[in-house]
Amino acid sequence: MKDIVEQFPEPRPAYTTISTLLKRMCDKDYISFERLGRDKQYYPILKKNDYFSKQVNGMIRHFFNDSKSQFASFFTKNADLSVEELEELQELLRHKINQKNSK
């Protein structure tokens, strides 16, 4: 706990705040820990991509009426993407469509 708190700039959060956050992350199966005497060593158990996917899907569900196409439309209209980025998205979509059609 001390190592984690020391990573924060002043004014550092209280130990109880960090402890609560770590407990919640453990309860959600984002992280786990090993006991090392009186201390705990925390480590991730949820892959970054899985976490990101869960968060994006939650955002789509809550803000875009569970419509992935509404989200994609909003994203492409409001993200100020370059021509290169739009072409990259277009290629990704073509590839995904081909995958779906070949099933």
Tokens of 6: 């020391």
pLDDT score at 1: 79
pLDDT tens readout for residues 16-32: 999 999 999 999 999 99
pLDDT tens readout for residues 39-68: 899 999 999 999 999 999 999 999 999 999
HSE-CB of 63 using CA atoms within 13 angstroms: 11
| Mean per-residue pLDDT over the chain, rounded | 93
- 34 Cβ neighbours under 8 A, 6+ residues apart: 40, 41, 43
